Amino acid sequence: MNDEQLLRYSRHILLPDLDVDGQQALLNSKVLIVGMGGLGCPAALYLAASGVGELHLADDDKVELSNLQRQIAHGEADVGSFKAESVAASIAAINSDTKLNVMNVRLAGDALLEAVKCVDVVVDASDNFSTRFALNSACLAARRPLVSGAAIRGEAQLSVFDFRRDDSPCYRCLYHEADDAALNCSESGVLAPIVGMMGSMQALETLKCITRMGEALVGRLLIIDGLSMDVRQLNLRRDPECPACQTRN
């Protein structure tokens, strides 16, 4: 790190569990974020501000007026623009040293697997089961940690599936099949700050996966009720009947 970086990240470097080596690990890291909405916006901004060296931003959607209630990286002038490009512009204003790979596409199949292989950690900030299942499979195949978050109404949940560890469950240990009747915020609504809380926590778990500081949320599901501020943790184990990872060693 040069003198400017030492000053910029001084509050991180002061943390005994992070220090210079941890900050250097962040600067050397690459993270893929899938979904540039309510979760992806705060996750991307905090990862860039924290010094993650390279961010790969994937989303094929464009900014709509209804997004501005919660998707804090977009502004009124961004309506009609690709979300990934809008987030990239916000990141550039915060940290011009962050390298950006902007993908205005819905990653799938071989393209998704290759995108996952190119990074150290994947952040699932998507809003549908098909994408979450596909990300889970790709991260399993590439043995990359998957930081998974979701939010609806006033509730949110978070877990980390770290496939560098043989004992880690996967997303489909939690949800075997897609729920076609699952709630979505366009129909059920979502409280704006709850996605900010969850996206920020996804950024925190990503930093922990990269630096190995603290204890990542592996084998645990965090559930938050924002209206009552009730916070619960459920223990998760690998499911021997899981359709995705039952053949893992």
pLDDT along the chain (249 residues), means of 10: 95 96 98 97 98 98 96 97 98 97 96 97 94 95 96 95 93 78 69 96 98 96 96 93 79
Residue 110 has φ and ψ, to the nearest 5°, of -65, -35
pLDDT at 245: 83
Q: Which of 171, 125, 174, 173 is nearest to 149 (CA)?
A: 125
Residue 245 lies in a domain: no
Residue 247 lies in a domain: no
Name the β-bridge partners of 233: 222
Residue 242 lies in a domain: no
143's tokens: 């043995």
Our CA angle for 133, 187, 40, nearest 5°, is: 50
| Number of domains the chain contains | 1
Enclosing domain of residue 178: 3-235
Our CA angle for 234, 149, 16, nearest 5°, is: 80
Residue 162 lies in a domain: yes
Q: What CATH number has the domain bearing residue 64? A: 3.40.50.720
Residues 6 or more apart whose Cβ sits within 8 Å of residue 76: 68
Residue 248 lies in a domain: no
Residue 227 lies in a domain: yes
Residue 131 lies in a domain: yes
